[in-house]
Amino acid sequence: MIAYETFLENLSAVRARIKAACEKAARPISDVALLPVTKTHPEQATLYAHKAGLFTVGENRVQEAAAKKQAVPELAGTLRWELVGHLQSNKAKLALETFSRIQSVDSVALAQRLNRLWLERGQTDAFAILLEVNTGEDPNKFGFQTQQTAAALEEILSTCPALRVEGLMTVAPLEGGRAVARTAFAALRELRESLQAKFKTPLPELSMGMTDDLEEAILEGSTLIRVGTALFGTR
């Protein structure tokens, strides 16, 4: 694990990249939030984020996140956890106990299961989710196909009253570099616009962009970049 001072330097560098990209995109810097992704790093990474004033972290595995969360009881109530990785349905219950938002909802069945489990917990506030869409059509990636998303959203909106769909998430294809990533991000933005118009429902969050492609994501309208390597070092 890197030293806290190194983390702070990395954070400054990432913020400088965000600022430069926002200037290029003529967007206010306040439009783009930074989600530190602490997966595979020890719980110290979550302490670093919190100490630096970042009060939400991203994790891609339910059990890893739950264990880490238990290891930092001093952050209970002041640090939020979000799931950015694929969720198996048998871990849905633990996921609801661990995370305050799930960005990686990639099937109607999963949404319906989360909805039922959340109702069973007797919660009054809706649980926040994003729909993950594989706009880059990478066969190795999870997510709805772009063409399926409208029908899926329609079903989720009508059958999952305990969920609140806050927007869309995508992971750019592994291959193809920044140009291919940008095309995938543009497709997510266009999809968001068409879904908002079709369902007359706001979908404010566009979670896209990571260490290697955050500039392209910001140029295409990202509201949330998810950054691991550039903050915490290689995994």
Ligand X SMILES: *Cc1c(COP(=O)(O)O)cnc(C)c1O
Q: Considering beta carbons, is residue 83 or 162 the nearer one to ligand X?
A: 83
Q: Considering beta carbons, is residue 111 or 171 the nearer one to ligand X?
A: 171
Task: Report which residue type is found at 195.
Answer: L
Residue with nearest beta carbon to ligand X? 228
Q: Least Å distance between CB 76 and ligand X? A: 24
Q: Considering beta carbons, is residue 114 or 210 the nearer one to ligand X?
A: 210
**Long-range contacts from 162-165, C-beta under 8 angstroms, 24+ separation:** 162/114, 162/115, 162/118, 162/119, 162/123, 162/126, 162/127, 163/111, 163/114, 163/115, 163/118, 163/126, 163/127, 163/128, 163/129, 164/126, 164/127, 164/128, 164/129, 165/129, 165/130, 165/131, 165/201, 165/203
Q: Which two tokens stand for residue 180?
A: 């291919």
Q: Least Å distance between CB 230 and ligand X? A: 6
Q: Least Å distance between CB 142 and ligand X? A: 9
- Rg (C-alpha) for the chain, rounded Å, is 17
Q: Least Å distance between CB 57 and ligand X? A: 11
Q: Considering beta carbons, is residue 127 or 213 the nearer one to ligand X?
A: 213
Q: Considering beta carbons, is residue 22 or 132 the nearer one to ligand X?
A: 132
Q: Considering beta carbons, is residue 221 or 228 the nearer one to ligand X?
A: 228
The count of other CB atoms within 10 Å of the CB of residue 91 is 16
Q: Least Å distance between CB 194 and ligand X? A: 23
Task: Report which residue type is found at 77.
Answer: G
**Segment holding 12, helix H or strand E:** helix 4-25
Q: Least Å distance between CB 229 and ligand X? A: 3
- Give the residues lining the site for ligand X (CB under 6 A): 37, 39, 60, 84-85, 171, 210-212, 226-230
3-state secondary structure of 100: coil
